[in-house]
Chain A
Amino acid sequence: MIAKMTFDFSAIDEFAVTLAIVGYVTVFAALVLLFYIYSLIPKIIDISVRQKLRRRGKHKIAEKENLSMVGEENAAIAMALHLFFSESHDEESNVLTFKDSMRSYTPWSSRIYNLNEYYRRP
């Protein structure tokens, strides 16, 4: 079957070459345009963030070159907050204390309840 294949290079005419080149360039152009726009958006957002920071008197942070955070930093802060808010009550003093009972007898310390009624020595 493969031997039957015929290759007709004359089929690649002017139209086909134009389509291939224009098509590829257009796909590239579309994504390059998106690239520039999405590169621009964070800069525009940063301008308003810097203005807000300056209004609050945080000039030092506002002058920082890069205001963005890395996702890993975000995750670390979120994890710390989560641990603080949800698991802080689990913290114990880890000090063991003995407290004497005021009563001399309670059923909890009764020896008789520790033995089976039908207990028989083997």
Chain B
Amino acid sequence: MIKKAITVFAILLVLAMVSGFTHTNPLQGKKSETSISNHSVTNSNGQSEAEQGIARFWEFTGFANVTPGHLIMLIVGLVFIFLAIRFEYEPLLLIPIGVGILIGNIPFLQNAGLKVGIYEDGSVMNYLYFGVKYGIYPPLIFLGIGAMTDFSSLISNPRLMLLGAAAQVGIFATFLGALVLGFHPAEAGAIGIIGGADGPTAIFLSSKLANGINIIGQTAAGDPVYVKNLIGPIAIAAYSYMALVPVIQPPIMNLLTTKRERLIRMKPPRAVSKLEKMLFPIIGLLLTTFIAPSALPLLGMLFFGNILKESGVTKRLAETSRTSLIDIVTILLGITVGASTQADVFLTEQSIMIFILGAISFMIATAGGITFAKVMNIFLSRDNKINPLVGAAGVSAVPDSARVVQTEGLKADPSNHLLMHAMAPNVAGVIGSAVAAGILLSFLL
């Protein structure tokens, strides 16, 4: 008990001494004049070198530099980690991003040459952020996605591809919404892609269109006006909503479908031959990249990964792409995207507007897919009807939205499994959002 009391007293004493020195900032204040007398170094305030050291140490701690913004972002980071662990919402993404938010928002003395901040040239985080800023990580993620995705559900029932196209309405509706809220067209395009519900595509497009580097005009004095750097908010919004797909989508699905529609049983998919599986990535690559060459880094890598998988002769490369490589890139992408939310850069009015627009775009995309499935049903025979719930999977978010469709389908009929059917529009959505990104890029760059 006495030991504890002494320890607490000692800590309080040290804190009291340190706080007494904080009125002098060795870096921001006037340069202290020092004089040497009787083997001790003192400054004009009468502080010894040791006291100056402690004061300097205090200035460098997070406690001295903390702002309400930092605390808000730290709470956001902790919420991300909580959601990932407690509810298992996309834990592979939310844990790295959540920890990244914590790392990026530890307060430190700015401009002190510490080189620790993600936006400081020469810092380790800045080097890792290079991959986000210049759109290097997204194509590598797409390579892994291509190598792990089985497109057979899509090949066996290609008409479901149209649902993946229909859901992209969210991208273009959000683009218009962002323009109305006063964003520059390039920024609006990058924000719109959140509606594609595809993290890597969102990062890729925002790194090209809203990167803080491109010049979008001139001031009256002739100085260049740069586009805003929105990579952080857009990536966080995209990944947050992707993780929250199980929360966002079900109410819209229930609102737009009747109980009878939710009970529709779809024909089981036919078996797909090996030849068809091998032809799919080759034809897909040639066709989509001819239509939108700007999306080549994404679509090229996606179909390349799928060729590695389906060719059957490059098993080692396919295995590396879908395991080690994508894991490494996901770690780096997650941690840097999280760290890019440094409070002073992230906590702005624009970020809040981006989050609002992102939520709306997810809802519009979900509604677009479901509504189109209902429209298709008008023209389809009774035996070939589509369960409209499947349309919700048209918003990429692989495979979470397909999983939500399966769950909602089972709620209506516990023996009606929609997962395989939902995977078709789900992967078509990935292709559709990448094509949309290419189109936006060629219009707005």
Contacts and interface: CB of A to CB of B under 8 A. Distances in A.
Contacts of B436: 23-24, 27
A31 B180 contact: no
Contact of B180 (A11, A15, A73): A11
Interface stretch (A2-10, A87-95, A98-106, A110-118): A2-10
A65 interface: no
Contact of A34 (B180, B188, B284, B439): B284
B276 A72 contact: no
B432 A69 contact: no
Interface of B is mostly: helix
B158 A29 contact: no
A11 B178 CA distance: 9
Given A20-B175, A23-B440, A70-B271, A34 B288 contact: yes
B350 to A, nearest CB: 11
A80 interface: no
Interface in A20-39: 20-24, 26-35, 37-39
Contact of A68 (B166, B179, B271): B271
Given A20-B172, A45-B275, A15 B185 contact: yes
Contacts, number: 130
A32 B431 CA distance: 12
B284 to A, nearest CB: 6
Interface of A is mostly: helix
A1 B165 contact: no
Contact of A31 (B162, B169, B175, B182): B162
A35 B169 contact: no
A15 B154 CA distance: 34
B227 interface: no
A31 B269 CA distance: 19
A38 B280 contact: yes
Contacts of A1: 349, 352
23 contacts: A6-B181, A8-B181, A11-B180, A12-B176, A12-B180, A15-B185, A16-B185, A20-B173, A22-B439, A23-B436, A24-B168, A24-B169, A30-B288, A31-B161, A31-B435, A34-B161, A34-B431, A37-B287, A38-B155, A38-B276, A39-B158, A45-B276, A72-B268
Interface of B: 154-156, 158-159, 161-162, 164-166, 168-169, 171-173, 175-176, 179-182, 185, 188, 268-271, 273, 275-276, 279-280, 283-284, 287-288, 291-292, 349, 352-353, 356, 428, 431-432, 435-436, 439-440, 443-444
